[in-house]
Structure 1
């Protein structure tokens, strides 16, 4: 089968197309003929071995696939690795049937980024009716879904940040009440101004560095900053306990892998957001479709912040 494999760690340049033996499904697993694979920012960390889970070489990246099983089911599934390939083995309990009316790209947008957005708001952020929510990188895969879900879940004001006017306009189109420049310089003041002069209740943050610092400073008493990435590859200033106690603020980390296997944390929210998408109440945006052979270009574009929405590898191309 055709696959993208890495035999050394590094940047997009280490992603190379090759021929590999077909994988074989074991007990409790499914072999999926892959139609498309999703590209996540976490994949760029996996390729350079800077992710939360360490990588082992050689490696076929890719944590999500959509395709057909031997009995004809159309499924979307999480994988451990191995998604950037024509065939992938997935755990049966992590495969979800895709409803009619949901495209391959939309399904891929939901299985990691949609579930992440759902849990950022429901599980970690514990959004209450009427609270304000800041969504950083609001035109990205997770952010574009978090904007929509925050409105659907009853947020009082959704404040989007993005690095360009086009991306801010997209966030507004998706339902954000206001969109501001993501530049860390002056960000705290812009967030407070965007919330009518009041500090904010929830921030969904995946950049790290000074964006994290400004977001924490913008939190209201009992506010929650949910951190789920470090796209800048720059750590924030260490948080001291007194900073949290002094304003009754919380910093909560989130990693989707901790939801797998826990009752009610995978299949149920996945079913909810798939149903919302099939009904047109949630609109995952596909920002780019690349042939499998151009996985390196997809990573380059993602890392350079040139993209919006979900990036997809067309494995059939």
Structure 2
């Protein structure tokens, strides 16, 4: 099979289209003939040598795919409601940038009715991440206020739509330009803050009438954490899922005590299959009907042929995109 390989750690140009042996599904896995592979920020970190591959995972980058089931144990597939020939999308721990990819059956979901494989390939990584962190860890409840940093990222466009569709009271997004703020509003955000020209903590307080935000999804960390604590409501939660602004944060412990604040976070890639399968089941029950009903829509910025994976990574690193970037096979 053809696969995009990381020839050496470095800039986007180190990505090369090469030949690899076709993977063979083990017990509990199925084989997908991939038509589209989603691109995510962790792929960039892996390419630069800053995100080690979990033990046992493929060294081929790529954490989400969509395509057709072409292999796997028929009874195992049937038990999960699948059969060969079905169109699925899947979250994988690696190996997604390839013509063939194995995936744990529990981490696969049917392509939502009405969606193309390109649209479906944009779903798993961000939807699993948002559900796990906003609703499981962050415990966002209907009527509560939610803020996402980086509202036009793949995570951001997912978080805005998912929280709004599931009953958040107010959804606030930050973005790095006025145009991106407008994009957030079009996706359903109640307010969008240009973090380059506005103080997001002050603005969030104003939007909430001084009450503060109940849940914040943070991909920045670093100096943002202290400011996020300032704009949290009582019993508020900040959930950290990336550290683009650095790993060191100063915390006002007095504020944490007085307002009963929670600082938490997680990574998804190294978690066990059973953990991810539980998220898949929750998505199928709670979110897939919203996608099929048109209340949540994939946001695709660009597609690239797999041979142009380096150009796709260049675009991601430019931060000019709104939504997802997808490779096609």
Q: Does the TM-score normalized on the shorter chain lie above 0.5?
A: yes
Question: How far is 1:209 from its partner?
Answer: 2.3
Q: Could you state the TM-score of these two structures normalised by the residue count of structure 2? A: 0.87
Question: How far is 1:79 from its partner?
Answer: 1.8
Structure 1 residue 50 corresponds to structure 2 residue 62: no
Deviations 1:210-269 (A, max 9, x none): 33332222212211001111234x224243654422331111103234474137432232
Preserved contact between residue 225 and residue 250 of structure 2 (Cα < 8 Å)? no
Structure 1 residue 200 corresponds to structure 2 residue 208: no
Question: How far is 1:175 from its partner?
Answer: 1.0
- What's 1:107 paired with? 120
Question: How far is 1:12 from its partner?
Answer: 1.9
Q: Could you state the TM-score of these two structures normalised by the residue count of structure 1? A: 0.90
Question: How far is 1:78 from its partner?
Answer: 1.7
Determine which of 184, 196, 202 is the counterpart of 1:171.
184
Structure 1 residue 309 corresponds to structure 2 residue 323: yes
CA distance, structure 2, for counterparts of residue 206 and residue 188 of structure 1? 15
Which 5+ residue runs of structure 1 have no aligned equivalent? none
How many residues end up aligned between the 2 structures?
314
Question: How far is 1:84 from its partner?
Answer: 0.6
Structure-to-structure mapping, 1:66-85, within 5 angstroms: 66-70=66-70, 71-85=84-98
Preserved contact between residue 74 and residue 97 of structure 1 (Cα < 8 Å)? yes
Structure 1 residue 95 corresponds to structure 2 residue 113: no
Structure 1 residue 230 corresponds to structure 2 residue 239: no
CA distance, structure 2, for counterparts of residue 241 and residue 52 of structure 1? 32
CA distance, structure 2, for counterparts of residue 270 and residue 295 of structure 1? 30
Deviations 1:79-102 (A, max 9, x none): 221111111122222222223312
Indicate the RMSD between aligned Cα atoms, in angstroms.
2.3
Structure 1 window deviating more from structure 2 (166-175 vs 7-16): it is 7-16
- What's 2:76 paired with? none
CA distance, structure 2, for counterparts of residue 54 and residue 185 of structure 1? 39
CA distance, structure 2, for counterparts of residue 20 and residue 53 of structure 1? 18
Deviations 1:164-190 (A, max 9, x none): 122111111111111111238733212
- What's 1:254 paired with? 266
Structure 1 window deviating more from structure 2 (290-299 vs 253-262): it is 253-262
Shift of the 57–175 alpha-carbon distance from structure 1 to 2, 3 Å rule, reads closer
- What's 2:164 paired with? 151
Question: How far is 1:55 from its partner?
Answer: 7.9
Which 5+ residue runs of structure 2 have no aligned equivalent? 71-83
Determine which of 125, 137, 148 is the counterpart of 1:135.
148
